[in-house]
Amino acid sequence: MFNNKIILITGGTGSFGKAFVNRLVTKYKKIKKLIIFSRDEFKQYEMQKEFSVKKYPFLRYFLGDVRDYDRLRFAFKGVDYVIHAAALKQVNTAEYNPFEFINTNIIGAKNVIEASFERDVKKVIALSTDKACSPINLYGATKLCSDKLFSSANNIGGSVSTKFSVVRYGNVFSSRGSIIPLFLDQNKRREKFTLTDLSMTRFNIFMDQAIDMVEWALKNLKGSEIFVPKLKSFKVIDLIKSINLNPKIKIIGIRPGEKIHEELISNSDSRLTIDIGKYYVILPDKSYFKKYKNHKKLSESFSYNSGLKDKQLTVSQIKKLLSKNTNI
């Protein structure tokens, strides 16, 4: 699908961007051009040590910010596919710097959409987060707004052929800034494990799964959908026990804007959500049902959150995953 195509990744020096670039340069040998668009000069410098233009002559490194429409417009010239991964993401930081999150996550999304139209990009996938589902913090609210912008962009008619869809998933297993590296470090230092609440649960997705989903969505999207993976979850206390069977724990309380259980599909979304096997798909309206011939409708009482016990991993299962994906 990517051979002889020009692909651009916003936020391309982030965790997803680097993993996605690695997938593309490994799997596809005839990419026309792969543009890594980001605002951090040092991260681009570091990334070029691993993915050099000399080794991969189809790579291009573009400095730029999604807030800057003119730079996006310039970068999108001739681009076939855009993966929009650029975002500000820290919940606490958003509460203290709301305008900055609005400018990047909402205005930036608007700029990506308009530049895609102007440059006649064929397909755009925007990455979302569980926090966009029934948001209770500013970060989640900005990502919900972004999701709505990308979904509604498909309503623009005329000669415009660009298709937009969204991929929504939770925390990536053992990614930078997640709780797993924190707990591993606390265990190494023989410190108490800091736990917000004994009931806390989280979804679990691996980076390879996220990339697989983006590839699949690019190939199969109709436009306007929000794709959601079927994931396992875990109790955070069970994660701690998988690292240390006799842990000392300090309960620190839930932070402002934090949920006990992550949510990927709300009860309100259920009437427009279908099951297509490997993924759930949230559709914009009922007219889209006919676009997916082989699907199963969900009950109107359906919701998809990490607190569902039949979806949760056991301590031994978590320990096995940690042994495969970390150094413990």
pLDDT in tens, 85-102: 999 998 889 999 999 999
Amino acid occupying residue 4:
N
Contacts of 106 (CB under 8 A, 6+ apart): 142, 145, 146, 149
Report pLDDT for 272: 94
Q: Which of 18, 43, 131, 235 is catalytic?
A: 131
Amino acid occupying residue 157:
G
Residue with the bigger pLDDT between 81 and 289: it is: 81
Mean pLDDT across 32-52: 97
CATH architecture of 6-171+204-231+264-305: 3-Layer(aba) Sandwich (3.40)
Smallest Cα–Cα separation from 115: which of 84, 88, 139, 140? 84
Alpha-carbon span 138 to 316, nearest angstrom: 36
Query: Does the structure show a pLDDT above 80 at 325?
Result: no
Residue 131 annotated to the active site: yes
- Global pTM reads 0.93
Smallest Cα–Cα separation from 187: which of 316, 327, 318? 327
Domain ranges of the chain: 6-171+204-231+264-305
Smallest Cα–Cα separation from 28: which of 215, 179, 224? 215
% of the chain residues with pLDDT over 70: 97
Least confident of 1-10, 47-56, 136-145, 289-298: 289-298
Query: Does the structure show a pLDDT above 60 at 143?
Result: yes
Q: Name the pLDDT band for 137 (thresholds 50, 70, 90).
A: very high
